[in-house]
Structure 1
Amino acid sequence: MSSSPIKYELIHKDKHSGARRGRIHTPRGIIETPVFMPVGTNATVKTLTNKMIRELGSEIILGNAFHLFLRPGLEIMKEFGGIHNFMNWDRPLLTDSGGFQVFSLKDRKITEDGVKFRSPLDGSKIMMTPEKSMEIQQIIGSDIAMAFDECVDANSEYEYFKESVERTYRWAKRSYDAHNKKEQALFGIFQGGLFDDLREKSLEQITSIPFDGYAIGGLAVGEKYQDSEKILKKFGNKMPENKPRYIMGIGSPTMMILSVENGMDMFDCVLPTRMGRHGTALTWKGKLNIKAAKNKFSKDPIEKDCKCYTCRNHTRGYLNHLFKRNENTGKTLLSIHNLHFNITFVKKMREAIENDAFLDFKKEFFENSDYPLEN
């Protein structure tokens, strides 16, 4: 790798917190940060068309390298010239390395070379190495790729985390050396669980490699909110200031606020669309169960001041009916609303940071909603 295909611009830092307002310049467009990235695991954000996602104002989405490797497979990705042509998406796209998915499989074996596992599709043996992960992501053609790291169970012993941090560093160097797609950025991931000394060491190791951006891994994997808070407060603003900072798997209002308050720029999560498909709407007052009987006769939208397509065109009563009849349209309409909520939420955080009012935004939000200060 030589010069970076992306550039991070720091626009403003909130005077009273670690929150920062920035901009990521990419060949496919500008990403305003902080940014929430909708998850398009299989080259689609479930139940939504690309037109819908664009109209929601999403500047970047996430694809899953592991699942795209399994299906449709690299042969088809090559034939189409990459994921942007394949799914007709003209804006930035980030792929994860496949590490989290590989390590979540039960039948796997970790070696120095990589991870050996059986395909969940046909049971065939697959060896995922840092080099293989880079090959997959380069063929997919995402704008931002992630280095291959080891995702460790949060309940593992200290000694295993210690070994894993060293392995993640070696794999990060191999990922960097194997990556040669000059128009694709590559981010490194530091690990270390909930151990301060290991986090410190991993951050030092990973940032010694000139990646285009850096991510904090191993959070939002079932640990307590207080543990996430401790790690973010201690290490969020120790990450390089001149490059994007990414925390993986974050999408609830509570965790987005915690992440931004401690210097994070990017986050992704399936939460808004998954909740939408199951009948739960995110609002500024809290979560709303659209399937509840009280909504059956309601002529109100999900949220009166919401400007999303769903709230401008449909009532709670109609949405309640769609879910009672298991109509896919209901899943689409609630997913539209929830993504609009998250995208608007980060936009308002950006405005608050620019005005040095992030902590005021945080205070007002929790005072006027029933979202927990702790997840």
Structure 2
Amino acid sequence: MPAAERRQSPVDGAVQEEESRRMKFAVKAWSKNGRARVGVLQLSSSSSCGHGGPPEKVIEIDTPALLLTTRKGLPAFIPPDHLSSLPDSRLLQFSPMHFMEGPNLKTISNIGGVHQLLGLHGYGFVALPRDSILSLPECNSSNKHGASFETPCGRFLVKPLEYMKMISSMKPDLWVSLADEVSASVSAKRNKVSVDRTIRWLDDCISLKSTDGALFGSIVGGCSIEDRQHCAQEVAKRNVSGYYIGGFGLGDSIDERSTLLHAVTDCLPKEKPRQVCGLGLPEEVLQGIAAGVDLFDSMYIYHLTLGGFALIFPLDVQCKHVSDPQLSAMASDHTKINLKATVYRKDASPIVDGCNCYTCQNHTKAYINHLLNVHEMLAQTLLEIHNTHHYLAFFCLIREAITEGKFEQLRQNFIESRRDHLLAASLSCMS
């Protein structure tokens, strides 16, 4: 009998009650005539209990929210003592696959999970197999037994039982069920297989899970509206606390993504949170929020930082980008600047005037340019602090716009401004 048709056992009821205590979500405001929404996600982290850690702590996250992408639980370049200086940065996302090279699961479990391992008790941890940076789905190597992932340690086939052992040892606050995520180029037959496997693995994860952490059910379906809707409808029948919309950022087109996102969220209950992976650009985030998505990853920040780029787009509802010939040469889309460029070698100004992040308050473009050119890792630290701070402020702006009924205005102004600058840059190159 399918899991969705089973009667709830006393054990299932106890698990559901424990999950509702550990995680609560409420929608506070909706956009005018739209699906964008502001909510509050509340986590009660108790993973440290019994291991000598601090008592249970309640963490509140305003949504739409940005999850900080990490490597083994910490951002790639931001040290732990700087995390508290970032606004609204209480959710850290990691992939259990990163820990395959050590420490081992038994050690992590004995320590008390990722909260105890990292000493970060005031933060919520979200575990999912894919992270879009170091743990990428390899659909051609996945099979009926498990999902395949490319990692820095090689390719791994992860079965539901092995995955659940990882989750039980790491004790995250939220975790995503194992999914067979495929690229946009696969055949219709392979796409349907990915949906069937993902639903089956969700049932396996539910049957194998303990009471630790709230479960987000994975939804896949590639570029097929019918497969996406079927998967969403099936997952919505299961006993899950929220939803993970997967399969994006794997060759799909931004033009067709809005239709796919709306098709999925139409099938999901409004009272539960939705997370998506693979939407990083500002316009992609706005597209996801317009469809009713609540949680996003920050892999965009990681890639910007590695490339030496700093975010500079304006943080107001008008979103009118500054017209500056110098910026046109360095960043044609007017959202970022390349601080490796020689034009910044003697620039004594901060990255963004008025920005109150640690980097802008203490350092100049010239200094970061120097650090980048001598390959000093402090450059990435300062850039990731600024980029994360700037993007978190962008999410704060979005929440305010939704509450004030100005979200569509913000979105249209941002997209139109980007389009105008891209057109101007292309005409400049042609002349």
Q: Normalised by the size of structure 1, how large is the TM-score?
A: 0.92
Summarize the alignment of residues 169-180 of structure 1 with structure 2, pairs less than 5 Å apart.
Answer: 169-180=199-210
Q: Quote how far apart the aligned CAs of 1:129 are.
A: 1.4
Structure 1 residues 372 and 66: alpha-carbon distance in aligned structure 2, compared to 1, 3 A threshold: farther
Q: 1:68 aligns with which of 96, 99, 104?
A: 99
Cα deviation 1:15-64 (Å, max 9, x = unaligned) = 13211000011104011100001111222211111221221020101011
The equivalent residue for 2:240 is 211
Q: 2:390 aligns with which of 313, 338, 341?
A: 341
Output the CA distance in 2 between the equivalents of 1:171 and 1:338. Answer: 36
Greater RCO (Cα-Cα under 8 Å, separation 6 or more) = 1
1:92 equivalent to 2:124? Answer: yes
Contact kept in structure 1, 2:93 and 2:126, CA below 8 Å: yes
Contact kept in structure 2, 1:36 and 1:251, CA below 8 Å: no
Identity %: 26
1:16 equivalent to 2:33? Answer: yes
Q: Quote how far apart the aligned CAs of 1:222 are.
A: 2.2
Structure 1 residues 193 and 87: alpha-carbon distance in aligned structure 2, compared to 1, 3 A threshold: same
Contact kept in structure 2, 1:22 and 1:32, CA below 8 Å: yes
Output the CA distance in 2 between the equivalents of 1:109 and 1:345. Answer: 37
Output the CA distance in 2 between the equivalents of 1:183 and 1:313. Answer: 42
Q: 1:110 aligns with which of 140, 143, 159?
A: 143
Contact kept in structure 1, 2:243 and 2:272, CA below 8 Å: yes
Give, as a single letter, the amino acid of the residue that structure 2 aligns with 1:75: K
Summarize the alignment of residues 326-365 of structure 1 with structure 2, pairs less than 5 Å apart.
Answer: 326-365=375-414
Give, as a single letter, the amino acid of the residue that structure 1 aligns with 2:311: L
The equivalent residue for 2:343 is 294
Report the secondary structure of 1:219's partner residue: coil
Contact kept in structure 2, 1:220 and 1:228, CA below 8 Å: no
Cα deviation 1:144-174 (Å, max 9, x = unaligned) = 0110110112100101111221111111111
Q: Quote how far apart the aligned CAs of 1:351 are.
A: 0.5
Report the secondary structure of 1:361's partner residue: helix
Give, as a single letter, the amino acid of the residue that structure 1 aligns with 2:278: G
1:227 equivalent to 2:261? Answer: no
Contact kept in structure 1, 2:25 and 2:40, CA below 8 Å: yes
96-105 or 264-273, larger mean C-alpha shift: 96-105
Give, as a single letter, the amino acid of the residue that structure 2 aligns with 1:92: G
Structure 1 residues 122 and 47: alpha-carbon distance in aligned structure 2, compared to 1, 3 A threshold: closer
Q: Quote how far apart the aligned CAs of 1:200 are.
A: 1.1
Output the CA distance in 2 between the equivalents of 1:240 and 1:121. Answer: 39
Cα deviation 1:60-117 (Å, max 9, x = unaligned) = 01011111233222132123211111111121010103598373387x4512x32478
Structure 1 residues 262 and 372: alpha-carbon distance in aligned structure 2, compared to 1, 3 A threshold: farther
53-62 or 346-355, larger mean C-alpha shift: 53-62
The equivalent residue for 2:181 is 151
Q: Quote how far apart the aligned CAs of 1:236 are.
A: 2.9
Give, as a single letter, the amino acid of the residue that structure 2 aligns with 1:10: V
CA-atom RMSD in angstroms? 2.3
Structure 1 unpaired stretches of 5+: none
Q: 2:230 aligns with which of 201, 216, 223?
A: 201
Summarize the alignment of residues 42-61 of structure 1 with structure 2, pairs less than 5 Å apart.
Answer: 42-57=72-87, 58-61=89-92
Contact kept in structure 2, 1:10 and 1:23, CA below 8 Å: yes
1:263 equivalent to 2:329? Answer: no
335-344 or 233-242, larger mean C-alpha shift: 233-242
257-266 or 91-100, larger mean C-alpha shift: 91-100
Q: 1:252 aligns with which of 281, 298, 301?
A: 281
Q: Quote how far apart the aligned CAs of 1:299 are.
A: 1.2
Output the CA distance in 2 between the equivalents of 1:198 and 1:338. Answer: 36
Give, as a single letter, the amino acid of the residue that structure 1 aligns with 2:354: D
1:2 equivalent to 2:19? Answer: no
Give, as a single letter, the amino acid of the residue that structure 2 aligns with 1:20: R
The equivalent residue for 1:141 is 171
Give, as a single letter, the amino acid of the residue that structure 1 aligns with 2:143: I
Give, as a single letter, the amino acid of the residue that structure 2 aligns with 1:151: E
